[in-house]
């Protein structure tokens, strides 16, 4: 194994793929959590009212059901700066929209494979079930996921931490070269005038003289 893949942070939890470079000092990950209105959002609410603490790194997005989570929401979250994304929802038999959380699970598994192929560590994208009464369990899951993502370091998938270009633009497409004339093309043929010239009216010339 190369030196690039053996760099291990001592504080990284077991099972987490280690970053090749240590996280910057004071790094705090942003964890975006999609919650279901009926279960996991209520559980997070319960954790708040019961004064159960979980890290402030977690940002909740309330949806009506985990089946509402579109894969583009997750991709957009990573591209816009999230270091971790969590899909939460009701337990499989408890979805208020019948099988939508089962469909969400299928979508989660497929998207996990795509994200892994794109180089995003599995610990950055996780799924958590929580009923409305499981505030304690949800808070514990948020704490665990935050620690795992903190150990991985910043994702910077959208290149937001990249040095700016001299022009100040984040990215710029190279200018297009002018199109070269095609030697095979025939020269343009002159177009004939569409109207014939009109001879001056002798009568009008007399009036003006």
- Write out the residues near ligand FES by the rule CB under 6 A: 36, 38-39, 65-67, 89-90, 95-97, 100-101
Q: How far is the CB of 2 from ligand FES (least distance, A)?
A: 42
* Closer Cβ to ligand FES, 100 or 146, answer by number: 100
Give CA angle at 151 (147, 157), nearest 5°: 105
CA-to-CA dists, residue 77 to 64, 86, 129, 157, 182, angstroms = 18, 11, 20, 10, 46
* Closer Cβ to ligand FES, 38 or 54, answer by number: 38
Q: How far is the CB of 41 from ligand FES (least distance, A)?
A: 9
Q: How far is the CB of 64 from ligand FES (least distance, A)?
A: 7
Characterize 121-131 residue by residue with b for buried, 16 or more Cβ atoms within 10 angstroms of its Cβ, and e for exposed: bebbbbbbbbb
* Closer Cβ to ligand FES, 27 or 97, answer by number: 97
* Closer Cβ to ligand FES, 12 or 36, answer by number: 36
Q: How far is the CB of 67 from ligand FES (least distance, A)?
A: 6
Q: H or E stretch including 77? A: helix 71-79
Cβ atoms within 10 Å, residue 28:
14
């Amino acid at each position: 194994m190369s030196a690039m893949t053996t760099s291990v942070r001592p504080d990284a939890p077991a099972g987490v793929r280690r970053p090749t470079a240590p996280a910057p000092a004071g790094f705090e990950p942003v964890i975006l959590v999609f919650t279901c209105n009926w279960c996991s959002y209520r559980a997070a609410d319960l954790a708040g009212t019961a004064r159960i603490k979980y890290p402030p790194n977690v940002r909740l997005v309330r949806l009506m059901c985990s089946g509402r989570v579109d894969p583009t929401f997750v991709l957009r979250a990573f591209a816009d700066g999230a270091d971790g994304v969590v899909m939460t929802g009701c337990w499989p038999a408890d979805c208020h929209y019948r099988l939508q959380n089962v469909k969400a699970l299928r979508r989660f598994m497929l998207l996990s494979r795509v994200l892994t192929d794109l180089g995003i560590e599995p610990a950055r994208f996780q799924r958590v079930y929580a009923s409305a009464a499981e505030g304690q369990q949800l808070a514990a899951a948020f704490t665990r996921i935050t620690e795992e993502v903190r150990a991985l370091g910043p994702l910077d998938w959208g290149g937001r931490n990249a040095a700016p270009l001299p022009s100040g633009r984040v990215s710029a497409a190279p200018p297009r070269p002018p199109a070269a004339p095609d030697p095979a093309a025939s020269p343009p043929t002159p177009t004939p005038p569409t109207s014939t010239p009109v001879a001056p009216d002798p009568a009008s010339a007399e009036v003006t003289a």
